[in-house]
Chains A and B, each alone.
Chain A
Amino acid sequence: MLTIEEVKTRLKNKYQSAVKKFEQPYGTRLYADIDKSKVREISNEIIGMGGRYLVSVGYDNIARDKTLGLIHAFSLDRDDIFVCLRTAAPVDNPTFDSITPDIPNAGWSEREYMDLLGMKFSGHPKPKRLILADDWPEGVYPLRKEVPWNLMPPPAENVAYQLDEAPEGCTTIPVGPFHPTLHEPAHFAVYVDGETIKGCDYRGFMVHRGLEKLCQTQLTYNEIPFVAERICGICGSVHATSYSQAVEMAAGFRISRRAEFIRTIMLEIERVHSHLLWLGVAGHLIGFDTIFMQAWRVREAIMWFGEKLTGNRKTYGMIVVGGVRRDISPELKDELLGILKTIEKELVTIHKAIVGDSSIHRRTKGVGRITTDETRLWSLVGPVARARGVDIDTRRDHPYAAYDEMRFDVPVVDSCDVWGTVVVRILETFEAIKIIRQALDTMPAGPTMTEFAEDIKPYQHAITAVEAPRGEVVHYLISGEENRPERWRVRAPTYPNLQGVPAMLLGDQFADLPIIIGSIDPCFSCTDRVVKVDIRSGRISNLTGGELETISRAKKLAGR
């Protein structure tokens, strides 16, 4: 176990003057201002301490000191610490060292800021556009303050996707953007040799709505939770909770205990309905429609309860800055307990049916394989990582809301395939039911809303993580003037997980593609969320299988 002081001492001793300043406004968060030439070394040092890469945040600081800021955030899961390395570069030469060669998961974040803020990363293995379209004019960076939120450069017609060359002897099969197995628009170019997948290129970010920019320029702190819920229609409360916690942390303020319990209950209700939904969709993807129908029938009860409690079946609008909007009355509590009993009973039946069905075993076992080491290398999160033997869960590692009082297990299996994700999700649903029962039993009395005593000071940094049904959601917030955030960065769980998909696809049959992509429970609207920018034609891509292999091998040789 490391303490935050030990982390500080280690960095200070090893890098001396390269670490300029430490800030520690909140017990478990460490912000270190570092020299930009040492970014890569210090990042590797944090990874060496057992850190896991979360996200990079770029922000526009031109008005204050003519720089562009960059923050790399890491989580030390065993020690309940978040470490954020802050650095900056002058706006006329915004070049940073890329950390992608060591941490492949940072690839998308860095490409995002190449597009949105005009940063440059030396040593990036694939400095292509990720978010902006080919017809977006050069030199217009939508996340810079000078660019208005509603700027719309005229679109160009018929710009083709700029995809990678297919490997030698392979055929390209386009999947998407509108495809029956993808419920959201995204384009996969799959390179196959016969039936075997040899590589994959991804062009997505088609659901990018520019929401981060909207919230940073137009809305106020109190309005944003409702927009945050609309990042994703399935895990809306997760984003609202994460955002609200970030604002509360920046303000240095605690909400009432009862509100924290109600937040916990809302998050777990969402997990129950989301996992049942995924179970149905997964059944549908492998052609087992009975599971689809049954899982969604069971799920319906919790949707109705959600409507009774909050007024809407989804997009609850329940969680706001400072607490929650509505209280759970004793009658609603009894009703929820009854519903949970029914769901648990029926889920046991579904579980038995799935475990006993040989066709599901054959479709999912050994499919989408990726080893535990590769999972760590790619910083995958959520059930996808837990099905590959990586024991991480934000609820336990970095407790928030009322999770510090809850007792629950974190199911981890090491089958390293799609079957593992099925098992993990079913077991997690039982755990979620357990947590809701505990929370209802031990919920203290008190107000649901707490008023802020004073204004939020500008330029406070806050990072929060919340365990969504799909994995870990990270929100980074820099408070600003005019009652709105200066910068708000959302990282949804699909963002890292989708980067690991080419590794999972490698060597599998083309017919297994839908269930492998489906097994990460993809949510492109979360991934593409906010920041994004334009679109239309796309260019993008992930690492191809070949590059991935090269990196993985290099890593293995390097002994990581």
Chain B
Amino acid sequence: MLAKLCKKAFPRSLWAYHCNAGACNGCDIEILNVLTPYYDIERFGMKLVASPRHADVMLISGAVTRPTFPLVKKAYEAIPEPKLVFGIGSCAAGGGCWFDCYNVTGGADKAVPVNYIIPGCPPRPEAIIYGVALALGLVEKKASPVELKQVEFPVDMYLKNKAYEERDVIYQVLNR
């Protein structure tokens, strides 16, 4: 659904604005890496731009820290509609290993609405290209969603085991 919309909304070249909201540099280097000759994202017409006002897409890396929080919001507002937001890396996905530290707000979705998340620490350049291509409907989705159900802990099983254990204790006492 969103992929179809994206195809309509972004029929031509996609310009991306990269916003580092307190990342460790790992994801940022991989984002720059997709520009280099091996990965060469410009063959899809995508490129990085310096100003959010030129961009269609915002790539956020890093667990949004307190000082960058209002700035990320401002950068998001500066991007003209229609726009897409990608969270790149585990930190942007949910705050990473410091999700609840005193200086971290915990993930890009706390600051701005995030449309797609590319996980990894850091994600490979291929993963970034695949994620963006998937969003634009350039490739087919390879994985189907898996539904996880909450399973209740089998209480009877626990009681049964306990009964067996207790029975063993009784036998031990009797045999003594």
Contact = CB atoms under 8 A, between A and B. Distances in A.
B103 A185 contact: no
Contacts of B23: 184, 207, 233, 525
B124 to A, nearest CB: 6
Interface stretch (B92-100, B136-144, B147-155, B164-172): B92-100
A365 B69 CA distance: 39
A150 B101 contact: yes
Nearest to B63: A209
Contact of A233 (B22, B29, B37, B51): B29
Contacts of B98: 209-211, 214
Interface in A287-314: 292-293, 296-297, 300, 312-314
Given A178-B20, A313-B124, A296 B36 contact: yes
A150 B104 CA distance: 9
A30 to B, nearest CB: 34
Q: 7 shortest A-B CB distances, which residue pairs?
A: A233-B26, A535-B67, A180-B50, A210-B101, A233-B25, A296-B36, A535-B66
Given A178-B75, A535-B103, A233 B65 contact: no
B66 A185 contact: no
Interface string B63-90: 1011111110001000000000000000
Contacts of A211: 98, 101
Interface in A148-181: 149-152, 155, 157-158, 177-178, 180
B102 interface: yes
A230 B69 contact: no
Interface in B5-55: 19-30, 32-33, 36-38, 50-51
A533 B103 contact: yes
Given A184-B28, A236-B26, 4 more contacts: A184-B20, A209-B103, A230-B26, A280-B36
Contacts of B32: 183, 296
A314 B100 CA distance: 24
A206 interface: yes
Interface of A: 133, 142, 149-152, 155, 157-158, 177-178, 180, 183-185, 205-211, 213-214, 226-227, 230-234, 236, 277, 280, 292-293, 296-297, 300, 312-315, 523, 525, 532-538
B163 interface: no
**Interface of B (DSSP majority class):** loop
B121 interface: yes
29 contacts: A149-B102, A150-B100, A157-B70, A177-B67, A183-B20, A184-B20, A185-B22, A206-B22, A206-B65, A207-B23, A207-B62, A209-B103, A210-B98, A210-B101, A213-B101, A213-B102, A214-B98, A214-B101, A232-B24, A233-B25, A236-B26, A296-B36, A297-B36, A297-B37, A313-B124, A533-B103, A534-B103, A536-B67, A538-B67
B84 to A, nearest CB: 18
Is the contact region of chain A dominated by helix, strand, or loop, or is it mixed? loop
Given A209-B103, A525-B24, A185 B96 contact: no
Contacts of B124: 313
Contacts of B71: 177-178, 185
Nearest to B72: A178
Contacts of A205: 67
B131 interface: no
A178 B19 contact: yes
A133 B25 contact: no
B102 A185 contact: no
B122 interface: yes
Contact of B103 (A158, A232, A233, A532): A532
A420 to B, nearest CB: 24
Contacts of B50: 180
Nearest to A151: B102
A236 B69 CA distance: 25
A236 B27 CA distance: 13
A175 B102 CA distance: 27
Contacts of B97: 214, 226-227, 230
Interface of B: 19-30, 32-33, 36-38, 50-51, 62-63, 65-71, 75, 96-98, 100-104, 121-122, 124
Nearest to A147: B102
B25 A232 contact: yes
A312 B71 CA distance: 31
Contacts of A227: 97
Contacts of B20: 178, 183-185
A535 B65 contact: yes
A138 to B, nearest CB: 16
Nearest to B51: A180
Contacts of A178: 19-20, 71, 75
A208 B65 contact: yes
Contact of A534 (B22, B27, B102): B102
B67 A150 contact: no
B14 to A, nearest CB: 18
Given A149-B101, A185-B22, A314 B122 contact: yes
A536 B71 CA distance: 10
Contacts of B96: 230
Given A185-B22, A297-B38, A537-B67, A208 B103 contact: yes
B25 A209 contact: no
A227 B101 CA distance: 13
A471 to B, nearest CB: 16
Nearest to B37: A297
B102 A155 contact: no
A315 B26 contact: yes
B130 to A, nearest CB: 15
Interface centre among A210, A231, A297 (most CB of B within 10 A): A210
Nearest to B33: A296
A327 to B, nearest CB: 23
A296 B35 CA distance: 10
Contacts of A206: 22, 65, 67-68
